[in-house]
Every structure is written in C-alpha cells, then in structure tokens.
Amino acid sequence: MSGIERWTGLSALGAVADYSWGDAPGWYEAGALPLISLPPLAEQRRIVAKVEQLMALVDALETQLAASRATAANLLSALVAELT
C-alpha cells in the first residue's frame, strides 16, 4: 500500500482524482462533499515521497530520543547509587 492509501484508507491518486475536475457523480453535486482540487498525479507522488522521507526522519529522531532518555535514566541511577 502506498503512502496516501496508508494514511487515508482511500486513493487520492486514483478514484478521488477521477472526480476532482468536474465530472462528479450525482451524490457529489448534492453537496455531500466539498469540491477540492487535487494537484497532478506526478505532484501527488512527489508530495507523498517527501512526506515519507520526513516521516522516516521523525522515526529516527524518536528512536534517538528514546535512547537518550534511557541513557539519562541510567546515568541518574548510577549517580544516585554512587552517592548512597
């Protein structure tokens, strides 16, 4: 499953894009959903690739933060043990 499907559960790169330029089904015209314009497919893919790149960076930073917190806790425990 690619990025957009994973995040939204639907394909903005597929079915939704089919209706973004005016040929909407009848329920759409009845006001069920607001009209949105999607960027071209190539731009959507570029955006998804960039978001996935940034999410990988966030994951790496979260891992580093968890390791730093564990190290700080270990140092604090060692310091308390040394002082008592």
In the chain, domain spans: 3-83
Q: What is the pLDDT of residues 21-79, one digit of tens each?
A: 455 455 555 556 667 788 999 999 999 999 999 999 999 999 999 999 999 999 999 99
CB 29 within 8 A of CB 61: no
Helix (H/G/I), strand (E/B), else coil: 70: helix
Half-sphere exposure of 54 (CA within 13 A, CB side): 7
Higher pLDDT, 84 or 66: 66
